[in-house]
């Protein structure tokens, strides 16, 4: 699930800004961060590290099939 | 297809073989590829904004930071634009080792250093840029230190310090899609904002510095998924020359959770950056890929720098001087930790991440080897007014293989600063180019086209198809003519039939659509350059031409768009500049 | 008889005010984190519950006042009050504290970001609640002087204190519901129910006040 869940978000938008891959957006209604495009998460943890209240939980597993050079 | 819990196989759900990759991916958890495209934003309602500046810096990594600061300090008005945030996009956030040549502590001279890099790089490095790196690294490290870069893990705030102090305006979360050339010289750039209801931006500038970093095929296991060689592709489209596309970065990931960059790099991403002195290697080419090709997984235990000494015959050649001593730290084959970062300090891994698996950084070459062809030592490209620095510049600073540890980060800083001054100087001598309305309208409609298509191909699906074609070891890494021709046929199909039909339902997908198009063009460049280079050297390995061919190939390959729009390639001898400018 | 009533009340109180929130905390569908972070979360939650519990450790709660002597209740009210306020006053700092021990945004930077996110109603409410809480605490500390200085009678003081407490609680609760990591349906619902009951008692005291509580109220409502 890549970036997995967000709990206790204060809506500061740091993670939205910090994510290189534009995975997270602020929900216009609630003002809180939502995982909008999980398939594009590169599991780099920048969002988690920038979140001032440590609201983001990560998982190491990608949500779409992973293509590598050999298996 | 995979047996659960077998250490040599990726986890359930995380792996798909080539056959599946090329065909049935749409079903596997992404937006249904067959649904009608109903965009959430109406292209017609998207506003257009125009900005004007002297020097436009595209990219907010290490190179972009210094380009902006130094162009400003040289008297230019600067605008910094980036797809992501300053210091939190591209590769810069993940690099922790910064090379510093400190004459006080180094035993050897700069001449010795340059000679050492050239020996390891088998001549593929441009010694002018190698020397420049050593000469300027200390000064850049000093500035970074003043801004607090070496005091904390994350670099947005340290980067913001000099930018805010100088009042340099920033546009962030703006994807640049087009460079604009008018009357033969650069006139600016255009792109769109990812936020709100979107906006098409026209950025008029006297000079443009591409600090857009490298790119890849959105691979798994290396944090390069936000970069798709946009700078090189945009520059190629307006007539610039691009080089270095045949080299490969050989980073591997792990069979357990192959896509988890953070986990695979041990505590690297958590570290506070530091500096290091001269330490030249011949690392992270395709040695591991060769062993994997010959033996399959799991890989034999020996360090890949020593494949020649092991039971596996042939493969990429490491110059004797740079072979790792037995028992020494293996670059990349140690099962329990990630390979050392390109030119960075070695990580202490988390253990038990499984065996190495290739293609982590697929689509990316050795840092500084691929990118715009410079015509001088200041990052000047073949298009007047267009400069490049860092990973976006094909300076061949380190060569076609990782040589000096920590030189990638330092090289981006050094080159950024120099190109910033060069661009400011150039900008003083020219006016803003006029931009015909018709041209701007055309660019706008190109940018937004995927939003206006009611049917077409989803960029995620096209990307995965491209990955399935390009990433296999026997296409991208262990090369031979027949396979590359086959892959090229796929890529040409994607180029001709799928790029024009990419669709997007929102601004995020619009970004993906443009990135996908750039990846496809990059794939074509990589295949054509690799086909052309009929030898093996550094990180370029051909099964059908396994030897180093010094008679014919002491040369780089430049790529440019011909008059008829087709991709052209030419040789440029090592140690020379392009013959025109 | 009296003694066992007391201990039952104490046990019930502790159960309701400590075990219940802890239980709800543990069943909440929220990822577990490091020991330090979990401990800090728990401390904050228990402190907030304790602050709400102040409504039951006051004159408004007739049952408690029947069972225990007024000075005892007052003493507990003070100890719990100052203790909980101290934790809650620090809780913005406690949130960023773990960053001292791990990679990521630096604690002070995180704090600044947090306290300047004025677009977030939850943050603004939190700032207001924090201010009100500090005011409550400081006023309580100097209540004697205040009473003398403004010539308040005890009842006047109590109205100010209780009124302020009610406004504070509502703001704080709103803040906690809006931003709390664990204030989902269960813990959140519990907090609301608890606060509503307490505020109800307070309202009864103020609005339907009689000179003296009748000594023979039935049973202990807690
Ligand atoms: C995990 C990891 C570890 C590394 N470790 C080391 C190390 O220890 N030592 C070392 O020397 N090097 C290391 N490197 C390499 C080093 O990080 C890079 O070479 C260097 O940071 C490149 O800097 P740059 O500024 O040239 O490009 P980047 O940092 O990649 O920046 C590119 C910028 O361009 C922007 N951009 C791209 N396309 C567009 C577009 N179309 N429109 C607008 N903006 C755009 C991006 O948003 C980004 O801001 C490491 C890299 C990785 C990934
Ligand atoms: S882990 Fe990285 S890519 Fe994924 S959401 Fe966070 S910042 Fe974005
Ligand atoms: S950084 Fe944290 S608090 Fe801020 S918006 Fe993102 S998840 Fe919410």
Is residue B304 within 8 A of residue B332, CB to CB? The reply is yes
Please report how the helices C70-96 and C107-115 are oriented relative to each other, as an axis angle in degrees rounded to 10: 110
Q: Summarize pLDDT for C181-200 with one digit per residue, the tens.
A: 999 889 999 999 999 999 99
Question: Both B293 and B392 in a single domain?
Answer: no
Q: How far apart are CA C1 and CA C220, in angstroms?
A: 13
Half-sphere exposure of B387 (CA within 13 A, CB side): 35
Whether the Cβ atoms of residue C159 and residue A70 lie closer than 8 Å to each other: no
Nearest to A53 by CA among B131, C203, C122: C122
Structure-token pair, residue C120: 């977030």
- The phi, psi pair for B264, rounded to 5°, reads -70, -25
Cα dihedral across residues C35, C37, C41, C44: positive or negative: positive
Are B421 and B481 in the same domain? no
Beta-ladder partners of B58: B81, B210
pLDDT at residue B310, as a whole number? 55
Q: Specify whether the CB–CB gap between B135 and B410 falls below 8 A.
A: no
Q: Is the CB of B338 inside a 6 Å radius of any atom of ligand 1?
A: no
Residue B371's DSSP bridge partners are B243
B435, B204 contact by CB (below 8 A)? yes
Locate B377 and state its tokens: 């030592």
Q: Does residue A14 line the site of ligand 3, with CB under 6 A?
A: yes
- Say yes or no: C103 contacts chain B, CB-CB below 8 A: yes
Is residue B443 domain-resident? no
Residue B342 confidence class, pLDDT cut points 50, 70, 90: very low
Q: Please identify, among B310, B333, B357, the residue that sits at the C-terminal boundary of a domain.
A: B357
* pLDDT the model gives residue C170: 97
Cβ-Cβ pairs closer than 8 A, A with C, add up to 61
> Strand, coil or helix: what is C113?
helix
Q: Which two tokens stand for residue C30?
A: 């929220």
- Here the CATH number for the domain that contains residue B510 is 1.20.58.100
How far, in Å, CA of C181 to CA of A55, rounded? Answer: 8
Q: Are residues B106 and B236 in the same domain?
A: yes
pLDDT tens-digit readout, B471-498: 999 999 999 999 999 999 999 999 999 9
| pLDDT of the residue at B313 | 84
Average pLDDT of the segment spanning B318-336? 59
**Total residues found in chain C within this entry:** 222
Token pair recorded at residue B342: 């390109």
Residues B312, B415 share a domain: no
Q: What is the DSSP string of C1-56?
A: -HHHHHHHHHHHHHIIIIIHHHHHHHHSS-----HHHHHHHHHHHHHHHHHHHTTT
Which of B4, B11, B13, B14 to probe by mutation at the A interface, max A CB count within 10 Å? B14
Using CB atoms within 10 Å of the CB of residue C115, give its burial: 0 to 12 exposed, 13 to 18 middle, 19+ buried: middle
Question: Which whole-number Å values give the CA distances from B37 to B502, B505, B506, C219, in the listed order?
Answer: 11, 6, 10, 66
Instruction: Assess contact for B370 and B394: CB atoms under 8 A.
Output: yes
pLDDT of residue B335: 31
List C-alpha distances in Å: C116 to B86, B362, C29, C113, C121: 20, 41, 29, 5, 11
Number of Cβ atoms within 10 Å of the Cβ of B308: 15
Distance CA C145, CA B287 (A): 81
And the tokens for B499? 């790029």
> B121 in a domain, yes or no?
yes
- Distance, in angstroms, between A48 CA and closest chain B CA? 11
Report pLDDT for B362.
97
**pLDDT recorded at residue B284:** 85
Query: What are the helix and strand counts (H, E) for chain A?
Result: 2, 4
Residues B123 and B181 in one domain: yes
Quote the pLDDT of residue B327.
46
Distance separating alpha carbons of residues B485 and B467, to the nearest angstrom: 16
End-to-end CA distance of chain B: 54
CB B555, CB B526: distance < 8 Å: no
- Higher-confidence residue of B22 and B558: namely B558
SS3 B317: coil
Q: How confident is the model at residue B573 (pLDDT cuts 50, 70, 90)?
A: very high
* Average confidence (pLDDT) over B376-384: 97
Mean pLDDT of chain B: 89
- One domain, residues B213 and B349: no
Same domain, B198 and B258: no
Q: Is B371 a member of any domain?
A: yes
Q: Span B112-121, mean pLDDT?
A: 97
| Residue C51 pLDDT | 94
* Cβ-based neighbour number of residue C180 at 10 Å: 22
CA atoms of B201 and B47, how far apart (whole Å): 9
Q: Which of C172, C171, C178, C48 is nearest to C120 (CA)?
A: C178
Distance A15 CA to ligand 3 centre (A): 5
Same domain for B457 and B567, yes or no, is yes
Report whether B182 contacts B29 (CB < 8 A): no
Q: Measured from the CB, is residue A25 less than 6 Å from ligand 3? A: no
Q: What is the DSSP string of C169-206?
A: HHHHHHHHHHH-SS-SHHHHHHHHHHHHHHHHHHHHHH
The residue contributing the CA closest to ligand 3 atom 4 is: A12
Query: How many domains are contained in chain B?
Result: 3
* Average confidence (pLDDT) over A39-61: 96
Does the beta carbon of A35 lie inside 6 Å of ligand 2?
Answer: no
Say if residue B6's pLDDT is above 50. Answer: no
Residues B161 and B301 in one domain: no
User: Whole-angstrom distance between the N-terminal and C-terminal Cα of chain C?
Assistant: 17
For residue B66, tell me if it sits in a domain.
Answer: yes
- Spatial separation of the C-alpha atoms in residues B415 and B412, rounded to whole Å: 5
Residue B2: phi and psi, rounded to 5, are -125, 145
Buried b (16+ CB within 10 A) or exposed e, B16-31: bebebbbeebbeeebb
Query: In whole angstroms, what is the distance from residue C8 CA to residue B577 CA?
Result: 90
pLDDT tens per residue, range B256-309: 899 999 998 889 999 999 999 999 999 889 999 999 999 987 776 544 444 444
CA angle B59, B63, B65 (to 5 degrees): 75
Between CA C176 and CA C166 the distance in angstroms is: 15
Q: Which of B328, B357, B386 is the last residue of a domain?
A: B357
- Residue B151: the pLDDT is 97
Residue B30 lies in a domain: no
Among B260-264, B443-447, C153-157, the range scoring the smallest mean pLDDT is C153-157
Residues B296 and B209 in one domain: no
What is the per-residue pLDDT for C222?
Answer: 41
Asked whether residue A17 carries a pLDDT value surpassing 70, the answer given is yes
Which pLDDT score is estimated for B314? 87
Residue B581 has pLDDT above 80, yes or no: no
Residues B103, B223 within the same domain: yes
Q: What is the CA radius of gyration of chain B?
A: 22
Contact predicate B366/B120, CB 8 Å: no
> B185-193 and B541-542: which strand pairing?
unpaired
Cα–Cα dist B525/B461, whole Å: 21
**How many Å apart are CA A18 and CA A47, to the nearest integer?**
6
**What is residue C17's predicted lDDT score, i.e. its pLDDT?**
87
Ranges B489-503, C111-125, C151-165: which has the least confidence: C151-165
The Cα–Cα gap between B115 and B322 comes to 13
For B93, the closest of A36, A46, A69 (CB atoms) is: A46
Question: Considering the entire predicted model, what is its pTM?
Answer: 0.91
In order of start, what are the domains of chain A with their CATH numbers?
Answer: 3-58 (3.30.70.20)
Q: What distances in angstroms separate CA A7 from CA B120, C106, C178, one per listed residue?
A: 50, 20, 11
Measured in angstroms, the CA of B161 and the nearest CA of chain C are apart by 13
A59, closest residue in chain C (CA to CA):
C31
B520 inside domain: yes
**Three-state SS letters, B500-515:** HHECCCCHHHHHHHHH
Q: Which of B427, B565, B407 is nearest to B496 (CA)?
A: B565
Give the position of tokens 């988390």.
B350
Nearest chain B Cα distance for residue A15, angstroms: 10
**What tokens appear for B191 in the block?**
């792109």
Any A CB within 8 A of B206 CB: no
Nearest ligand 3 atom to the CA of A6 is 7
Kindly state whether residue B15 falls inside one of the protein's structural domains. Answer: no
Residue B207 three-state SS: strand
Distances (CA, A) of B269 to B154, B340, C65: 9, 12, 58
Contact assessment for residue A32 and residue A6, using Cβ atoms and an 8 Å cutoff: yes
Residue B199's closest CA among B45, B22, B426?
Answer: B45
Q: Does any CB of chain A come closer than 8 Å to the CB of residue C113?
A: yes
pLDDT, tens digit (0-9, with 9 covering 90-100), for B134-165: 999 999 999 999 999 999 999 999 999 999 99
CB C115 within 8 Å of CB C123 = yes
Query: What pLDDT was estimated at residue A48?
Result: 97
pLDDT at B191 over 70: yes
**B154 and C105 in contact by Cβ < 8 A?**
yes
Residues in chain C with CB shorter than 8 Å from the CB of B157 are: 106, 109
**B199 and B60 share one domain:** yes
* HEC-encoded secondary structure of B254-290: ECCCCCCHHHHCCCHHHCCCEEECCCEEEECCCHHHH
Confidence of residue C59 (pLDDT cuts 50, 70, 90): confident
Residues of C in contact with B85 (CB under 8 A): none
Domain membership of residue B509 as a residue range: 451-551+560-573
CB C98 within 8 A of CB C111: no
Domain limits, chain C = 2-206
The complex scores an ipTM of: 0.97
Angle between helices C185-207 and C154-179 (to 10 degrees): 160
CA-to-CA distance for C26 and C19, rounded, in angstroms? Answer: 10
Determine which residue's CA is closest to atom 8 belonging to ligand 3: A9
């Amino acid at each position: 699930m890549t970036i997995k869940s967000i709990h206790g978000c204060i809506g500061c938008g740091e993670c939205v800004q910090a994510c290189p891959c534009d995975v997270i957006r602020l929900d216009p209604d609630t003002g809180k961060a939502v995982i909008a495009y999980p398939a594009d998460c590169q599991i780099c943890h920048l969002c988690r590290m920038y979140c001032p209240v440590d609201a983001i939980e990560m998982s190491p597993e990608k949500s779409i099939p992973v293509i590598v050079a050999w298996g | 297809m995979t047996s659960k819990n077998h250490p040599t196989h990726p986890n359930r759900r995380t792996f798909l073989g080539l056959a599946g990759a090329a065909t049935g991916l749409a079903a596997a958890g992404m937006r249904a590829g067959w649904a009608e495209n109903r965009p959430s934003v109406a292209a017609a309602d998207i506003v257009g904004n125009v900005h004007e500046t002297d020097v436009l810096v595209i990219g907010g990594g290490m190179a972009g930071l210094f380009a902006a600061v130094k162009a400003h300090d040289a008297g230019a008005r600067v605008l910094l634009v980036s797809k992501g945030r300053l210091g939190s996009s591209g590769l810069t956030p993940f690099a922790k080792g910064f090379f510093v040549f400190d004459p006080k502590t180094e035993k050897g001279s700069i001449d010795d250093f340059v000679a050492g890099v050239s020996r390891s790089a088998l001549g593929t490095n441009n010694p002018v840029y190698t020397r420049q790196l050593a000469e300027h690294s200390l000064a850049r490290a000093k500035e970074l230190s003043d801004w607090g870069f070496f005091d904390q893990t994350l670099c947005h705030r340290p980067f913001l310090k000099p930018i805010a102090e100088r009042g340099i305006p920033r546009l962030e979360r703006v994807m640049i899609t087009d460079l604009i050339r008018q009357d033969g010289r650069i006139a600016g750039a255009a792109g769109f904002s990812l936020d709100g209801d979107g906006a098409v931006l026209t950025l008029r500038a006297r000079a443009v510095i591409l600090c857009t970093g490298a790119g890849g095929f959105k691979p798994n296991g290396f944090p390069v998924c936000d970069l798709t060689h946009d700078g090189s592709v945009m520059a190629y489209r307006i007539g610039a020359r691009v080089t270095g596309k045949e080299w490969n970065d050989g980073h591997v990931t792990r069979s357990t959770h192959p896509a988890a960059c953070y986990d695979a790099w041990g505590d690297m991403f958590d570290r506070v950056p530091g500096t290091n002195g001269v330490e030249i290697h011949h690392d992270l080419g395709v040695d591991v890929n060769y062993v994997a090709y010959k033996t399959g997984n799991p890989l034999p235990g020996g360090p890949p720098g020593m494949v020649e000494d092991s039971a596996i015959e042939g493969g990429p050649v490491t110059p004797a001087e740079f072979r790792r001593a037995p028992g020494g730290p293996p670059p990349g084959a140690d099962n329990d930790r990630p390979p050392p970062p390109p030119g960075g300090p070695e990580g202490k891994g988390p253990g038990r991440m499984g065996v190495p698996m290739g293609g982590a950084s697929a689509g990316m070459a050795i840092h500084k080897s691929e990118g715009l062809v410079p015509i001088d030592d200041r990052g000047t490209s073949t298009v007047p007014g267009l400069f490049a620095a860092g990973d976006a510049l094909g300076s061949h600073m380190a060569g076609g293989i990782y040589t000096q540890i920590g030189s990638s980060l330092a090289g981006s800083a050094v080159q950024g600063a120099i190109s910033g001054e060069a661009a400011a100087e150039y900008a003083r001598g020219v006016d803003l180019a006029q931009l015909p309305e018709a041209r701007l309208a055309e660019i706008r409609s190109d940018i937004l086209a995927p939003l206006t298509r009611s049917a077409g191909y989803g960029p995620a699906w096209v990307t995965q198809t491209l990955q399935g074609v390009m990433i296999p070891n026997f296409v991208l890494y262990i090369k031979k003519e027949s396979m590359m021709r086959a892959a090229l046929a796929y890529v040409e199909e994607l180029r001709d039939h799928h790029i024009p039909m990419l669709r997007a339902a929102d601004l995020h997908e619009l970004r993906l659509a443009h990135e996908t198009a750039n990846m496809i063009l990059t794939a074509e460049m990589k295949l054509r350059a690799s086909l052309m280079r009929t030898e093996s050297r550094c990180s370029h390995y051909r099964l059908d031409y396994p030897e180093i061919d010094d008679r014919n190939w002491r040369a780089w390959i430049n790529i440019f768009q011909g008059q008829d729009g087709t991709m052209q390639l030419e040789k440029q001898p090592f140690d020379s500049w392009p013959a025109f400018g | 008889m009296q003694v066992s009533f007391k201990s039952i009340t104490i046990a019930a109180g502790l159960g309701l005010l400590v075990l219940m929130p802890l239980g709800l905390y543990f069943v909440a569908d929220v990822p577990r984190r490091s020991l330090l972070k979990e401990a800090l979360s728990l401390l904050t939650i228990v402190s907030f519950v304790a602050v709400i519990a102040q409504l039951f450790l006051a004159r408004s709660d007739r049952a408690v006042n029947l069972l225990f002597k007024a000075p005892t209740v007052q003493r507990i009210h003070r100890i719990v009050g100052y203790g909980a306020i101290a934790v809650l006053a620090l809780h913005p700092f406690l949130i960023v504290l773990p960053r001292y021990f791990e990679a990521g945004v630096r604690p002070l930077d995180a704090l600044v970001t947090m306290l300047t996110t004025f677009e977030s109603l939850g943050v603004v409410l939190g700032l207001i609640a924090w201010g009100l809480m500090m005011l409550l605490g400081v006023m309580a500390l100097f209540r004697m002087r205040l009473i003398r200085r403004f010539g308040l009678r005890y009842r006047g003081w109590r109205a100010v204190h209780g009124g302020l407490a009610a406004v504070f609680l509502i703001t704080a609760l709103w803040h906690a519901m809006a931003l709390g990591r664990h204030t989902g349906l269960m813990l959140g619902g519990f907090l609301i129910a608890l606060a509503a009951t307490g505020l109800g008692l307070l309202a009864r005291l103020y609005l339907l006040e009689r000179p003296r509580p009748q000594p023979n109220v039935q049973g202990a409502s807690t």
